[in-house]
Chains A and B, each alone.
Chain A
């Protein structure tokens, strides 16, 4: 793949249902390498569904459309293959797993991906060395590694844990599903700084968010509004500010008029 800017993700007329109800009704979206996109929209507009469909959640059925990731059919890949190919979703509601330490979980994930890439798997000691700096970046000490995955974590700790995974797994396409929700300002800054540092010309980030706040820390190249299962408006970062001031209702009216 060339170093120059190219489409990493192409979503074309994507329709998806959950429990027989259509939630995505024809989403079109292209994300190029080196870009940060923000997907905003009111509650229930399909933002999280889009994020989960891209990661391969089994509860959603794609009924029409196509998703190309680096030119390959993303929807044909099982979730683990998407992850190994470099797609990462930071969950809105991270899942707790009792009995498994965060360190073991992280190392298993890293090694699954390294193995896929043909790299040597990391032993516990090498892994801890590699992790050290990333832990510091999110303001954690190693005590979080010996705790069970997300078990007994506060909402903010769970979100930080997602960002730690993001930093450790270093994906090409990072999708952050409302990672900013429920974070206090310090946590938000830490998360934003970590995400910002991971930006490179060969990767891309999709921020799914309800709030303008995070976009003051991570500047998006493009902002999209998802409403009623479709992207109804796209624009530059000034669109986010407009949404912050005017809310979403005017877009619905605009959509109806159009």
Chain B
């Protein structure tokens, strides 16, 4: 057996046990989907740094270890206080612990206007929601291209299910919280595969906050996939806060597809995990769609975080504005790869991408790679990236106004993050994220 096959074989074996036990009640289409996905995972194997897309990020800490599914609900439940600390407000929330939905910590799934926010496992079982999941689930995520998304799809069991029917406006931000206890099972550290589906129909409006957080300094792996479908003329803001534990490993993919004249603001704040990789694949699939992709990573110690984004302009007259800033202290390593594809016929595309990295130590490192692939001629595409220490001219300007070098550095560092925070439209969410950023930067 080759080494790759050996590493994937454990998961294939786990899958067979999973397919026999907990997953047996699933509809036929889902069983088929899972079978296809595990086969694809087995073919692809874990990526290595020899692959272009993984050049700067080694997943050896995942591939070389043995992570098992948490079969029984053994995890000790966190208290309400733990959840409160992670939430923006007292609005609707859906809480998962080690990948399992916890109704006791969640609000009822029924929201105003017929909207629902609950567990995907439940949605898969019932009539109308089951149809909806069948229409959307795994239709947006390109799991065939990614071993991790394929593995998530193979073990697809639970996660958040959000449905906002046409022309309904959610009054408050909806919060989806994925907690990892970091407690090992009898077979060693555990993995969870949270799978979320957010469907916002034509003309609807919603704000969704996804939080991934670790409750201890234990080793665990979280392999998440979220699919977001934005209907015609809908306006959606998705905030994703990653506060995994210091030894947590997180691989995640967010896939979005937008129909015509829709707006999606996708905001990312990456603070946690020893190793994090977040792939964002956004497809602008209807004329007049607009996307704001706005991210901030604050890393220190030996943290490594890699953001790979692909913005696919599949239709004409769409706009995408992407801003990612990184603040890297100590030995941290930040990777940004931003690909923009403008398909043939996607005329009048307006696309802007920037990635700025602030290095707070000589040992910190940032790799920034923009990639433009343009197959239409009437387009406006710009990109730029910077990597460097604090700007000496800015530092001097602040000092010339009486600020100490320490205060000036702190202001400039915060400004790097605030620039991203300022684009977050929901005031309560922005305020909470601002507090997290301030706490992090001290």
Contacts and interface: CB of A to CB of B under 8 A. Distances in A.
Contact of B394 (A80, A97, A104): A97
Interface stretch (B13-21, B328-336, B398-406): B398-406
A58 B415 contact: no
Contacts of B412: 97, 100
Given A58-B392, A97-B394, A99-B419, A79 B411 contact: no
B415 A83 contact: no
B417 interface: yes
Contacts of A105: 398, 401, 411
A91 B397 contact: yes
Contacts of A104: 411
> Which size bracket describes the interface of B in this complex?
20 to 34
Contacts, number: 82
A42 to B, nearest CB: 25
B402 A83 contact: yes
Given A57-B396, A58-B396, A79-B396, A100 B401 contact: no
Contacts of B404: 80, 112
Contacts of B393: 95
Nearest to B392: A58
B300 to A, nearest CB: 19
A131 interface: no
Given A56-B400, A89-B400, A112-B401, A99 B407 contact: no
A108 B422 CA distance: 19
Given A109-B402, A112-B404, A116-B402, A99 B417 contact: yes
B403 A80 contact: yes
Interface in A132-162: 148
A99 B399 contact: no
Contact of A99 (B392, B402, B405, B416): B416
B219 interface: no
A55 B396 CA distance: 10
Contacts of B418: 99-100
B322 to A, nearest CB: 16
Interface string A180-223: 00000000000000000000000000000000000000000000
A78 interface: yes
Contacts of B392: 58
Contacts of B414: 99-100
A227 interface: no
Interface in B87-119: none
A83 B401 contact: yes
A169 interface: yes
B334 to A, nearest CB: 18
A87 B422 CA distance: 33
A165 interface: yes
Given A58-B396, A99-B422, A80 B402 contact: yes
Contacts of B419: 98-99, 148
A252 B401 CA distance: 36
> Which size bracket describes the interface of A in this complex?
20 to 34
Interface in B156-187: none
Nearest to A104: B411
A108 B402 CA distance: 9
Interface in A31-73: 55-58
Nearest to B393: A95
A13 to B, nearest CB: 24
Contacts of B399: 56, 78-80, 83
A97 to B, nearest CB: 6
A113 interface: yes
B402 A94 contact: no
Given A97-B415, A99-B415, A100-B418, A112 B397 contact: no
Contacts of A56: 396, 399-400
Contacts of A55: 400
Nearest to B422: A99
A101 B412 CA distance: 11
Interface in A83-129: 83-84, 89, 91, 94-95, 97-100, 104-105, 108-109, 112-113, 116
Nearest to B417: A99
B430 to A, nearest CB: 13
Contacts of A80: 399-405, 408
A54 to B, nearest CB: 10
Contacts of B415: 97-100, 148
Interface centre among B397, B408, B415 (most CB of A within 10 A): B397
Interface of A: 55-58, 78-80, 82-84, 89, 91, 94-95, 97-100, 104-105, 108-109, 112-113, 116, 148, 165, 169
16 contacts: A56-B400, A78-B405, A79-B396, A80-B400, A80-B401, A94-B397, A97-B411, A97-B412, A104-B411, A108-B401, A109-B398, A109-B401, A109-B402, A112-B402, A112-B404, A169-B402
The 4 lowest CB-CB distance pairs between A and B, nearest first, are A99-B415, A99-B419, A99-B418, A112-B402
Interface of B: 392-394, 396-405, 407-408, 411-412, 414-422
Given A56-B399, A83-B401, A91-B400, 8 more contacts: A78-B405, A80-B400, A84-B402, A99-B419, A100-B412, A100-B415, A108-B411, A109-B402
